[in-house]
């Protein structure tokens, strides 16, 4: 009798677990490349973004969300673990891919693995069986962009689309989209994108370059205007793709049971955007929609992109690892952050170390290599037509004083302090003004404390730098790019030997 009773209890427990798994919400992330918060719901006036606007209308919009790193691989390494990239040694862009390997610390696991263990179907792709990550028609869907700087098992993803799951099985899906990368880096690319806009019709008309508003440190040069207009066209394409995925969720009857999280991996790829810690590089959109999420609400407190991992696990009923640094900002016990942090390290061959702390009113930045210019030699950056144009204008002495100061000064300030609300584009550095000395000291201490608490490893050793740059040169197919990369890497070695 006791044996039968025990069996009955086991059966009930199994049934309960199955029912609980079936009741769990799906979790879907939109992860967009190279895009700032240039959406209508965030105040963009030049274009309209109805799909993302609708998402915000039906969900919760964060006005002050920031990436902890302004470049793809380090951002994604942090995103997928809920950890600061510095804490896990994944803070150098495109590292750990060749002879030099990086292992996650004990107690840190990629969250797809946690979802998988909890019975979720894990997948990553375009979110549309008919279109790829560039929003172009395709008959060969594939897994989306990972770009992690540590060793990981590809088996943590069960497929590229939630259609492959078992009946009733909840899914964790990442919709990876090309975003701002769609505009390319040449005038030919800009024209091709405009032709695509005209041909497809679903995106309206190409953005008029003359209607573009640029940050004050970029000249209203024809190439700069065309580039920003093309970028805004990529925002429209992204918005269309988001709308199609949301339409699919609704048609399949699973929209209301799905947590949708929309965010970008960092800001626009530009001279003071991607790879840098100003708002142009790190301020990102973040919108949540789904079960238990307030509708049509906004939050103005500071959050970090690594919080998305904790939020998603919590909504799915999965325990948040004790070591995770991201926070479940939806928890009733959550206390808003007093500060958020970001870091930039080696990008390609370009060795740098920048750290920042943001508080409610201030942005503090520490440049560990003030003797190096802002636009240091970079094969990646210097291949872009906008950077080439800026360099040409500077050489011809045709840049304004602000652009020359912020982009082409031979040295950078060791410390930068900016006041929010009065300095949207962070152009007035208060760090050398004695009247701001107390604020400067407070933020300096905050940043130093974070660096210590996270065990920030800082620079690579010369031996590791050699391994990483050799590996990246091998993977660079273009001979001219490879040679330019090599020359730049030799320059950085020379600077290091000179203490610069």
pLDDT digits (tens, 9 = 90+) for 379-418: 999 999 999 999 999 999 999 999 999 999 999 999 999 9
- 253-279 residue pLDDT tens: 999 999 999 999 999 999 999 999 999
Give tens-digit pLDDT for 142-167: 999 999 999 999 999 999 999 999 99
Closest among 163, 189, 100, 98 to 476, alpha carbons compared? 98
Structural domain tally of the chain? 2
Name the residue among 128, 408, 159, 119 with its Cα closest to residue 271: 408
Distances (CA, A) of 117 to 24, 155, 255, 342: 14, 12, 23, 31
Q: In angstroms, rounded to a whole number, what is the distance separating the alpha carbons of residues 376 and 351?
A: 9
Answer whether residue 1 is part of any domain.
no
**In this structure, is residue 3 part of a structural domain?**
no
Q: What is the pLDDT of residue 12?
A: 37
Q: Verify that 246 and 360 share a domain, yes or no.
A: no
Structure confidence at residue 9 (pLDDT): 38
Same domain, 134 and 193: yes
Q: Tell me if 348 is assigned to some domain.
A: no
pLDDT in tens, 343-392: 999 999 999 999 999 999 999 999 999 999 999 999 999 999 999 999 99
Of 342, 364, 387, the last residue of a domain is 342
Same domain for 314 and 369, yes or no, is no
Residue 18 has pLDDT above 50, yes or no: no
Residue 338 sits in the same domain as residue 192: yes
Are 214 and 358 in a shared domain?
A: no
The boundaries of the domain holding residue 154 are 25-342
Any domain includes 47: yes
Shared-domain flag, residues 313 and 434: no
What is this structure's pTM? 0.94
pLDDT value at 184 more than 90? yes
- The stretch 178-204 carries a mean pLDDT of 94
CATH of the domain at 106: 3.40.720.10
Q: Assess whether 134 and 242 both reside in one domain.
A: yes
Domain termination residue (choose one: 293, 308, 342): 342
What is d(CA 437, CA 470) in angstroms, rounded to the nearest whole number? 44
Residues 138 and 30 in one domain: yes
Query: Is the residue at 12 inside a domain?
Result: no
Mean pLDDT rounded to a whole number for the chain: 94
């Amino acid at each position: 009798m006791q044996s039968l009773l025990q069996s009955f209890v086991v059966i009930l427990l199994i049934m309960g677990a199955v029912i609980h798994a079936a009741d769990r919400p799906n979790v879907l992330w939109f992860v967009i490349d190279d895009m700032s918060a240039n959406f209508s719901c965030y105040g963009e006036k030049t274009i309209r973004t109805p799909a993302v606007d609708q998402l915000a209308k039906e969900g919760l919009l964060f006005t002050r969300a920031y990436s902890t790193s302004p470049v793809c691989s380090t951002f994604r390494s942090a995103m997928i673990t809920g950890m600061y990239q510095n804490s896990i040694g994944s803070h150098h862009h495109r590292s750990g891919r060749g002879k030099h390997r990086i292992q996650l610390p004990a107690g840190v696991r990629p969250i797809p693995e946690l979802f998988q263990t909890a019975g979720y179907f894990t997948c990553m792709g375009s979110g549309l069986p008919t279109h790829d990550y560039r929003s172009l028609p395709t008959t060969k869907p594939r897994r989306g962009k990972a770009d992690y700087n540590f060793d990981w098992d590809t088996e943590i993803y069960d497929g590229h689309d939630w259609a492959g799951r078992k009946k009733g099985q909840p899914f964790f899906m990442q919709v990876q989209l090309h975003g701002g990368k769609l505009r390319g880096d040449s005038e030919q690319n800009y024209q091709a994108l405009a032709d695509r806009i005209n041909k497809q019709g679903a995106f309206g008309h190409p953005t008029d370059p003359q209607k573009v508003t640029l940050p004050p440190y970029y000249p209203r040069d024809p190439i700069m205007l065309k580039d920003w207009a093309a970028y805004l066209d990529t925002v429209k394409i992204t918005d269309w793709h988001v709308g199609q995925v949301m339409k699919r969720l609704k048609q399949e009857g699973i929209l209301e049971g799905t947590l949708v999280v929309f965010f970008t991996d960092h800001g626009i790829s530009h001279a003071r955007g991607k790879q840098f810690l100003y708002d142009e590089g790190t301020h990102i959109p973040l919108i949540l929609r789904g079960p238990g999420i307030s509708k049509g609400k906004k939050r103005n407190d500071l959050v970090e992109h690594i919080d998305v991992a904790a939020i998603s696990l919590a909504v799915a009923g999965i325990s948040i690892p004790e070591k995770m640094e991201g926070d479940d900002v939806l928890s009733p016990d959550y206390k808003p952050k007093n500060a958020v942090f970001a870091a930039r390290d080696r990008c390609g061959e370009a060795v740098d170390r920048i750290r920042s702390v943001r508080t409610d009113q201030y942005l503090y930045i520490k440049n560990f290599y003030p003797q190096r210019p802002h636009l240091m030699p970079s094969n990646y950056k210097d291949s872009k037509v906008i950077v080439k144009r800026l360099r040409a204008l500077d050489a011809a002495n045709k840049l304004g004083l602000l652009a020359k100061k912020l982009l082409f000064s031979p040295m950078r300030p060791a410390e930068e302090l900016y006041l929010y609300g009065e300095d949207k584009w962070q152009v007035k550095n208060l760090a050398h003004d004695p009247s701001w000395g107390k604020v400067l000291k407070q933020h300096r201490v905050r940043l130093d404390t974070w660096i210590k608490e996270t065990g920030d490893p800082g620079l690579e050793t010369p031996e590791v730098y050699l391994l990483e740059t050799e590996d990246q040169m091998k993977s660079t197919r273009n001979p001219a790019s490879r040679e330019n990369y090599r020359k730049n890497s030799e320059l950085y070695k020379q600077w290091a030997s000179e203490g610069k």
